[in-house]
Structure 1
Amino acid sequence: MQLSKPFAGTLLFIATLFLASGHSLAASSAGKVQRAKGFVMAASPEQGRIRPLRAGDGIAAGETISTGPNSTVQLDFNDGSHVALKPNSRFQIEAFVVRKEKPEEERSFFSLIKGGLRAVTGLIGKRKPANYRMKTAVATIGIRGTDYELRLTDQGLYAGVTPGTDSRIVIRNQAGIRELVAGQYAWVKGPDQPIIPLAVRPPQLGEKPQICK
């Protein structure tokens, strides 16, 4: 498969960044790939390499998952949560810890670096919502038992909560806080810009990924 020059350059940049990094991130099992279509890669800071991802492969805390053009992947995490990445996306598993006996020590911290996703939270988000976080360059997303979508574009962050679910998210940035419930959408232009409610689902969110549970 021949990669487009921009995407190949992105992968090379990720690999170089991790190899040059002096940080030590302990890779611990976070879950597995439920399904993958097209060009899907994981960059590991601990191993200093990029590997292709296929259905059934494990994923680990600290890894950055990237999808190419016309490529998608669903990640199933060990607490029962799911993340489906859209094409041309980059997503980092910053920290993932499940400790059923000590919920205060659990962590489900992610970062959407590029592109879009749909996320359905699991045990960690249900037991202690403060232990769940999805960061972007524009705003941070907190949850209250949630099924939601995000898309990061050159025009800012678009967010929405899946209609017909008992879900809500809290969007935070330097300009303020806004809560969205099922069927509500918002747009944030920048980290210091107000969070603008939208009357309908914005086309910038693109096609909604299906989640296989």
Structure 2
Amino acid sequence: MHLTFFNAMQSHISQFFAGALIAISALAAHAQTQAENTRAGTVKLVKGLVQLENTQGSKALLPGDAVNVADVLTTGADGATSLVLRDGSTLIVGPSSRLELKRFAFDATTQDGNLLVSVLRGTLRMITGLIGKTRPEAVEVHTPTTIIGVLGTDFIVQAEGEVKP
């Protein structure tokens, strides 16, 4: 009698833990999908001092790190970095630069999206990806004194100083 009760309890406990593991796995998969949907791009190369600032704080940027909307990249005098956005756009940030990814949306199925980069100071070389190739009017680069509309697919922007709002 006691053995039957023990076996039944053991079976219920096993089922509970199996269900809990399935639920945890589903939540982890959902969180990963959400992270991939918010990731605008990935850092490919880093030379010298490059910092990433966002609502979570500031950290040294490393190859493979995610870059998201509202992230600010700052390079030191010896720093430079390149990143590739989900639409294939490549951003190469030169020394003593500061830029913010203000807006990025891209639907890989329809290839629709938009991109807004603000170059606060320094230099940026940009090679547009699918957004710029299919809808160049959806790509903008702002500097402290100008707004640049994209007509070509490869260009360089230089901003001399940072203007405070």
Output the TM-score relative to the length of structure 2.
0.71
CA shift, 1:102, in A, is 4.6
Distance 2:88 2:63 in 1: 17
Q: Which amino acid aligns with 1:136?
A: T
Q: SS in structure 2 opposite 1:84?
A: strand
Distance 1:108 1:67 in 2: 21
Give the one of 34, 37, 46 matched to 1:36: 46
Q: Deviations over 1:56-84 (max 9, x none)?
A: 11111110000001111001111111111
Q: SS in structure 2 opposite 1:98?
A: strand
| Alignment partner of 1:128 is 2:135 | yes
CA RMSD of aligned residues (A): 1.8
Moved over 6 A (4+): none
The one of the two structures with greater contact order (alpha-carbon pairs below 8 A, sep at least 6) is 2
Alignment of 1:181-192 (within 5 A): none
Match of 1:108 in 2: 115
Give the one of 65, 73, 77 matched to 1:57: 65
Higher helix share: 2
Q: Which amino acid aligns with 1:86?
A: G
Give the one of 124, 147, 152 matched to 1:140: 147
Distance 1:56 1:102 in 2: 26
Output the TM-score relative to the length of structure 1.
0.56
Give the one of 75, 81, 97 matched to 2:83: 75
Aligned sequence identity (%)? 29
Contact 1:103–1:128 (CA under 8 A) maintained in structure 2 = no
Structure 1: tracts of 5 or more residues without a match: 1-26, 157-213
Contact 2:87–2:108 (CA under 8 A) maintained in structure 1 = no
Larger radius of gyration: 2
Structure 2: tracts of 5 or more residues without a match: 1-36
Q: Deviations over 1:143-186 (max 9, x none)?
A: 123211111115x9xxxxxxxxxxxxxxxxxxxxxxxxxxxxxx
